Amino acid sequence: MNLATRSLFFALLTLLFMNAVTAGLPPPRVKADNAMIVSASRLADEAGLAILKRGGNAVDAAVAVGFTLAVVYPEAGNIGGGGFMIYRKASGSATALDFREKAPKSATRAMYLDAAGKVTGETVNGHRASGVPGTVAGLLRALDEFGTMKRAEVLRPAIRFAEEGFVVDSAFADDLEEYRDSLRLFEATKAIFFPGGKELHAGDTLRQPDLAKTLHRIAKDGAKEFYEGATAGMIVDEMSRGHGEITLEDLKAYTTVRRAPLTGTYRGFQILSMPPPSSGGACLLALLNLVEPSDLAKMGFHSEKSAHIMAEAMKRVFADRSKYLGDPDHQRIPLRTLVSKEYARSRLLEIDPVRATESKSIHPGTLPGREKNHTTNYVVQDKKGNVVSVTYTLNDLFGSKVAVQGAGFLMNDQMDDFSAKPGVANMYGLVGGEANAIAPEKRPLSSMTPTLVLKNGTPVLVLGARGGSKIITAVFQTIVNVIDYKMTVDEAVRAPRFHHQWLPDTLFYEPGCFPNSVLQSMAAHGNVMWESPHSLGEVEALSFDPRKRTLTGGPDDREPGTALGY
Ligand code: GLY
């Protein structure tokens, strides 16, 4: 199949899938015997699957998917952002790779405050919003250390999509329309996403020749090219056009970090997740510890009792997140305490069995920030049982909205994940303090939660999510749905979710999440309930049945995500 035929084929598949969704039917369950990929893009799944079928391992495929998403899903897939990867070899060793962006060396604690001490908008849009990108260093380090294939081979699909183009789908066209005004502020961005000054619509083809050249250079000369070569020069030139902070010295100094995965247990399952500077793993383990003493299955799915304990746990965990979590390379974090079962027991004593702790009535505001699809997550399992979960991001959709002229890619706005001013919420409504204050070369606190769940030493669930602060509660609920409510992975991902992040004091829920009687009773017991018009995170997951040796895909039809296996 040539590219045009394939695009048409997948457009038809998507149409069939969307018809199933609009008809209220669950999409067909995707199963496989050997290997599987679940991501936000069918084209990226295909690129990764081709690598697996050629004998590449899960990391080879994950790197191919990461670079492909940077082309075909440029609002979140990226080479100008950063993220985290959890990789576990079938033989048992596991690594957490931190390729989170770093603050430039010139960064200062008050850099986003105006003369009156108010936070400016510069953390979100424009050149000053960017941290030093980590994606290229991260993906290529993973390939070097855990992969088997050559750079050129895993980058080939991404380069082809950038050169030949890909067919714009309606989700991407909608995102472009929604962000039109901020994207048009920057000439290089306008040139990519409004080619010839025109808006792109579903069915149009988007070619990105500058990005293709950048990817060619990376394929040839590796990460050194991006951080010290021609691409680095273009980034620095772009920074100088908008008072950006990133210098050549910053780029040269960028490093990824291999960290030990954060581990814990839940009802006999082993959990491996991302340690700081992501708050994801610590918050996930703390949430699981807090609900473990409760028999959630007996209480019932989305009953008042189970929702109450889960929501009260969420409030406490996000309160702790705001105070204690930050970059572990810059300050001491009481991590062992935060994820210990003893600490959870002491926090549990504070929870009233019926009433919400914050009982005074607070009028719900709108959920801070947009609820759309920031960030992206994908998971891979190969035929040997090696597994990978990657979450990476530009932060906001389209990041800082600034594309690097001549290099064809968007820069992140990850500086917004720092606490620009203690007590003042960022775009996700998250507040922070000293532990997440801005400092030179520090990594901003993240919520990304790439996670593995093991039973008797075998990964049975590989997952992660996108959606800012909702990532943590979405991963948490997916695990609870599988372990406590015995759902299959696709059911667990699809089930409606709720979210509380301590501040604002509001329990957000998706339509259909709770019966009316539960909603009324929870409100009567002091919860401020708010139906969210947007999805509360999007999970991409896969499960493995060690007895039958089959894989099942758990794509999130909120995106819509896609699963592909063989
Ligand atoms: N930029 C979103 C996060 O890292 O949580």
Q: How far is the CA of 376 from the centre of ligand 1 (A)?
A: 10
Question: CA of 148: how far to CAs of 12, 54, 84, 224, in Å?
Answer: 34, 11, 20, 20
DSSP state of 127: G
Question: Positive or negative, the Cα torsion across 456, 457, 460, 465?
Answer: positive
**Which residue, by CA, sits nearest to atom 3 of ligand 1?**
446
- pTM value? 0.94
Which domains, ranges and CATH numbers included, belong to the chain? 50-257+393-436 (no CATH), 259-363+448-565 (3.60.20.40)
Residue 198 CB burial class (10 angstroms; 0-12, 13-18, ≥19)? exposed
Q: How far is the CA of 170 from the centre of ligand 1 (A)?
A: 25
Q: How far is the CA of 521 from the centre of ligand 1 (A)?
A: 33
Identify whether the C-beta of residue 356 lies closer than 8 Å to the C-beta of residue 525.
yes
Give 279's contacts (C-beta < 8 A, 6+ positions apart). Answer: 321, 325, 445, 446, 447, 472
Strands 550-554 and 31-32: antiparallel
HEC profile of 504-546 = CCCEEECCCCCCHHHHHHHHHCCCCEEECCCCCCEEEEEEEEC
Q: Which residue carries 């770093």 as its tokens?
A: 102
**Which residue, by CA, sits nearest to atom 4 of ligand 1?**
446
What number does the ligand 1 atom closest to the CA of 445 have? 4
DSSP state of 111: T
Collapsing DSSP to helix, strand or coil, 360 comes out as coil
Ligand 1 neighbours by CB, cut-off 6 Å:
375, 393, 395, 417, 446-448, 468
Please give the pLDDT value at position 15.
46
Residues classed as catalytic: 375
Residue 386 CB burial class (10 angstroms; 0-12, 13-18, ≥19)? buried
Residue 396 amino acid letter: D
What number does the ligand 1 atom closest to the CA of 447 have? 5
Q: How far is the CA of 326 from the centre of ligand 1 (A)?
A: 12
What number does the ligand 1 atom closest to the CA of 428 have? 2
Pocket test for ligand 1, best of 394, 397, 417 (most atoms within 8 A of CB): 417
Q: How far is the CA of 395 from the centre of ligand 1 (A)?
A: 6
Q: How far is the CA of 448 from the centre of ligand 1 (A)?
A: 6
Please give the pLDDT value at position 431.
80
Q: How far is the CA of 76 from the centre of ligand 1 (A)?
A: 11
What number does the ligand 1 atom closest to the CA of 279 have? 5
Q: How far is the CA of 475 from the centre of ligand 1 (A)?
A: 14
Pocket test for ligand 1, best of 376, 428, 470 (most atoms within 8 A of CB): 428
Please give the pLDDT value at position 36.
98
Distance CA 526, CA 443 (A): 37
Q: How many Cβ atoms sit within 10 Å of the Cβ of residue 394? A: 33
Please give the pLDDT value at position 323.
87
DSSP state of 121: G
What number does the ligand 1 atom closest to the CA of 100 have? 4
Note the pLDDT tens digit of each residue in 67-88: 999 999 999 999 999 999 999 9
Please give the pLDDT value at position 23.
54
List per-residue pLDDT tens for the chain, 566 residues long. 454 455 444 444 444 444 444 456 778 899 999 999 999 999 999 999 999 999 999 999 999 999 999 999 999 999 999 999 999 999 999 999 999 999 999 999 999 999 999 999 899 999 999 999 999 999 999 999 999 999 999 999 999 999 999 999 999 999 999 999 999 999 999 999 999 999 999 999 999 999 999 999 999 999 999 999 999 999 999 999 999 999 999 999 999 999 999 999 999 999 999 999 999 999 999 999 999 999 999 999 999 999 999 999 999 999 899 889 999 999 899 999 999 999 999 889 888 889 888 533 322 233 334 445 579 999 999 999 999 999 999 999 999 999 999 999 999 999 999 999 888 888 888 888 889 999 999 999 999 999 999 999 999 999 999 999 999 999 999 999 999 999 999 999 999 999 999 988 999 999 999 999 999 999 999 999 999 999 999 999 999 999 999 999 999 999 889 999 99
Give 91's contacts (C-beta < 8 A, 6+ positions apart). Answer: none
Please give the pLDDT value at position 25.
74
Please give the pLDDT value at position 358.
59
Distance CA 417, CA 444 (A): 5
CB burial readout 138-158, b (16+ within 10 A) else e: bbbbbbeebbebebebbbbbb
What number does the ligand 1 atom closest to the CA of 444 have? 4
Q: How many Cβ atoms sit within 10 Å of the Cβ of residue 267? A: 13
Please give the pLDDT value at position 152.
98
Distance CA 313, CA 352 (A): 11
Pocket test for ligand 1, best of 102, 321, 370, 395 (most atoms within 8 A of CB): 395
Pocket test for ligand 1, best of 471, 499, 538 (most atoms within 8 A of CB): 471
Identify whether the C-beta of residue 288 lies closer than 8 Å to the C-beta of residue 271.
yes
Please give the pLDDT value at position 503.
87
Q: Which two tokens stand for residue 532?
A: 């969210």
Q: Which of 340, 288, 354, 17 is nearest to 169 (CA)?
A: 17
What number does the ligand 1 atom closest to the CA of 416 have? 1
Q: Which of 506, 273, 291 is nearest to 377 (CA)?
A: 273
Pocket test for ligand 1, best of 446, 469, 475, 538 (most atoms within 8 A of CB): 446
Q: How many Cβ atoms sit within 10 Å of the Cβ of residue 54? A: 11
Distance CA 460, CA 480 (A): 14
Q: How far is the CA of 148 from the centre of ligand 1 (A)?
A: 30
What number does the ligand 1 atom closest to the CA of 471 have? 5
Please give the pLDDT value at position 430.
83
Q: How far is the CA of 356 from the centre of ligand 1 (A)?
A: 28
